[in-house]
Structure 1
Amino acid sequence: MTTPQLKLGSGFGADSTAEDVLADIDLTGTFAIVTGGYSGLGLETTRALTAAGARVLVPARRPDVARAALDGIDGVEVAALDLSDLDSVRDFAEWFDGTGRAIDILINNAGIMACPESRVGPGWEAQFGVNHLGHFALVNRLWPRIAPGARVVAVSSAGHWRSAMRWDDVHFTTGYDKWEAYGQSKTANILFAVHLDALAASAGVRAFSLHPGGIITPLQRHLSRQEQTAMGWLTADGDPVPGLFKTPQQGAATQVWAATSPLLDGSGGVYCEDCDIAPIAETEPPGVRGYAIDPDQARRLWELSVKLTGVDAFA
């Protein structure tokens, strides 16, 4: 059954932290995977989940860097995974399958933003390839280990307002625009959750997407200080504009809420922000654009992703 894009009145909001969300939730015995869970929002998500009792596996392109960042956090382990490389995704999934463990929470948190034009895999535009296709292949390959009752959470962004799917040229073979490419990849994250939920709900697995809010993290690494100042993100001194951004702890809250909130039991396929389901909006944020939650668009993206990656757990 389709869950409506209507607020639930969660009791949390933009100022809530991941710790706030999990204050009354015991995750003892829960196993989670958080891609990119060693930097920015991912690191705060890992901290919050482990503090609530979960064990967390962090797949990382740079395992040594991840282990150093996670040093001192109990209940966490690291494994190698490069989302831009389908062979790496396959190898990680095969290794994990051999562990025999079941996944209760899978958070697709890793991503890149507004990078210079670059290609991954067989010539895919990098943001679409890493943010969407790598995670698409990962979830499909891990499907046999995803437990009934599990939640899959795709970290999207209000950046999806920048672009619908460019069906005529998803890889930007002409006219590359780094922000439009980022926007398309974030729309893809939402559409992925919509169709995964439609496919997986009968197995007791639900999927969600979300906007974490604006946060200064390493995600901005491809943007110069001058560019961020011109965009109104930084002051002339290079400091974040007061009142404009969430803290990383606040930014992690919505993905933790989507992964654990009892209010979402029996629900799925919805886009969330500020620790609640977001309304549909078509003129300006906040909210989700209709094209990003359209089931026909979601099905079309799934079919394209299967063709590109050669992976479909639901075939």
Structure 2
Amino acid sequence: MTNRQHPLPSGFNYMTTALEVVDGMDLSGKQAIVTGGASGLGLEATRALANAGAAVVVAVRDVDRATPAIDSLLNVEAAMLDLAEPKSIDAFATQFLSTGRPVHILINNAGVMANPLSRDNRGYESQFAINHLGHFQLTARVWPALQRAQGARVVAVSSRGHRFSPMNFEDVNFVNRPYDRWVAYGQSKTANALFAVGVDARGKADRIRAFSLHPGRIIDTGLARHMSAAEVKAIPVADAQGRAFTDPADFIKTPEQGAATEVWCATSQQLEGLGGLYCEDCDVASLVPPESQGLGVRPYAVDPGLAERLMQLSEELTGASIPGRES
């Protein structure tokens, strides 16, 4: 496997905000979809894209709850989407495709983290089902709109948490192994990264490029809702001497900073002609050993063979397909 994971460098860093990424950028005429785009990182990504002139559809489970959050943003609308419900995904895609609009930017941002074992109505483990399979099906269903854009980007929000587990293709749904919520989370985040590799391989002939990313350590979002107060409180924000962390791997970002990399992946001209890369801190990440606990991407999360294996498995599990598979 050729290592394409080399920082550019981009000129940004771990303190960059989403609005700084799009400063001076004109996205007028561009159409974006952001899942979970009315809260947390998704809202900050939506705000940045809208401020730069893009039209944005925020795909959310509760439109009424989302509306107050986006009311002040121009060219932003909410539409119902539940990533745990295949019929909801199909209904969202059908409605969007009926408008004839292209999709220039698809940010697969929504997700769950470290929840107790639960399964969707197909029996699939919920973190894998929501974080990966739901976004796989959504991407497959809106593929004609991505093609219509004649130049589109698909962005998958992964995490440094992919270090907790590679894909276990023999038992993705924890049927024959004990459930560990962090291993399940890690597997789903590895799936997000491999998904970007797979989508890019299948889509680049249609000028559809894909990227995955680690947004950073962020506490103040709903993603931590399945962590106890004690677990959240135990997350260190300073070293033993009380000095604030300065290492990017330990730095706790604001939501505005956390959304920066997904916006950079979606919009940066520095990524023209590239794809299938895992990014962090508004730059391409380095490849690191599987046992590393720091930043960077593990080889098993960007392996093209594993990516295609995941694409085929996802097609089997969802009944949706993304064209471009080599025979």
TM-score interval (norm. to shorter): over 0.9
Report what 1:6 is aligned to: 6
Report what 1:155 is aligned to: 157
Distance 1:97 1:68 in 2: 26
| C-alpha displacement of 1:242 | 7.2
Report what 1:304 is aligned to: 313
Residue 270 of structure 2 aligns to which amino acid in structure 1?
L
2:272 to 265, 271, 286: 265
| 8 Å Cα contact 1:207/1:268 also seen in 2 | yes
The answer for unaligned runs of 5 or more in structure 1 is: 236-240
Query: Aligned to 2:33, what secondary structure does the other structure show?
Result: strand
Residue 254 of structure 2 aligns to which amino acid in structure 1?
T
Report what 2:173 is aligned to: 171
Report what 2:260 is aligned to: 253
Q: How many residues align?
A: 309
Is structure 2 residue 231 aligned with structure 1 residue 222? no
| C-alpha displacement of 1:123 | 0.6
Query: Aligned to 1:148, what secondary structure does the other structure show?
Result: coil
2:208 to 197, 205, 208: 205
Distance 1:259 1:24 in 2: 15
Note closer, same or farther for the CA distance 1:234–1:83 as it changes in structure 2 (3 Å cut).
farther
Post-superposition Cα deviations, 1:162-210, rounded to whole Å, max 9, x if no partner, equal: 0000112101123010100000000000000001100000011100000
Note closer, same or farther for the CA distance 1:131–1:48 as it changes in structure 2 (3 Å cut).
same
| 8 Å Cα contact 1:132/1:185 also seen in 2 | yes
| 8 Å Cα contact 2:42/2:110 also seen in 1 | yes
Post-superposition Cα deviations, 1:149-172, rounded to whole Å, max 9, x if no partner, equal: 110000000000000001121011
Identity %: 54
CA RMSD in angstroms comes to 1.6
Note closer, same or farther for the CA distance 1:245–1:231 as it changes in structure 2 (3 Å cut).
closer
Residue 169 of structure 2 aligns to which amino acid in structure 1?
W
Post-superposition Cα deviations, 1:36-81, rounded to whole Å, max 9, x if no partner, equal: 0011000000111100111100011111111122121111001111
Query: Aligned to 2:104, what secondary structure does the other structure show?
Result: strand
| C-alpha displacement of 1:313 | 3.0
Residue 236 of structure 2 aligns to which amino acid in structure 1?
G
Residue 226 of structure 1 aligns to which amino acid in structure 2?
A
Post-superposition Cα deviations, 1:230-270, rounded to whole Å, max 9, x if no partner, equal: 343699xxxxx876411111101000000010010000000
Report what 2:139 is aligned to: 139
| 8 Å Cα contact 1:3/1:267 also seen in 2 | no
The answer for unaligned runs of 5 or more in structure 2 is: none
| 8 Å Cα contact 2:3/2:287 also seen in 1 | no
Report what 1:187 is aligned to: 190
Residue 268 of structure 2 aligns to which amino acid in structure 1?
S
Residue 203 of structure 1 aligns to which amino acid in structure 2?
D
Query: Aligned to 2:138, what secondary structure does the other structure show?
Result: helix
Report what 1:284 is aligned to: 293
| 8 Å Cα contact 1:3/1:268 also seen in 2 | no
Distance 1:183 1:119 in 2: 17
Query: Aligned to 1:58, what secondary structure does the other structure show?
Result: strand
Distance 2:293 2:66 in 1: 37
When structure 1 is superposed on structure 2, of 71-80 and 180-189 the one drifting more is: 71-80
Note closer, same or farther for the CA distance 1:312–1:138 as it changes in structure 2 (3 Å cut).
same
Report what 1:48 is aligned to: 48
Distance 1:85 1:43 in 2: 22
Query: Aligned to 1:182, what secondary structure does the other structure show?
Result: helix
| C-alpha displacement of 1:4 | 1.1
| 8 Å Cα contact 1:3/1:269 also seen in 2 | no
Is structure 2 residue 317 aligned with structure 1 residue 313? no
| 8 Å Cα contact 1:86/1:121 also seen in 2 | no
Normalised by the length of structure 2, the TM-score is 0.91
| 8 Å Cα contact 1:3/1:270 also seen in 2 | no
| 8 Å Cα contact 1:89/1:138 also seen in 2 | yes
Query: Aligned to 1:57, what secondary structure does the other structure show?
Result: strand
Distance 1:225 1:313 in 2: 41
Query: Aligned to 1:120, what secondary structure does the other structure show?
Result: coil
| 8 Å Cα contact 1:151/1:205 also seen in 2 | yes
Report what 1:120 is aligned to: 120
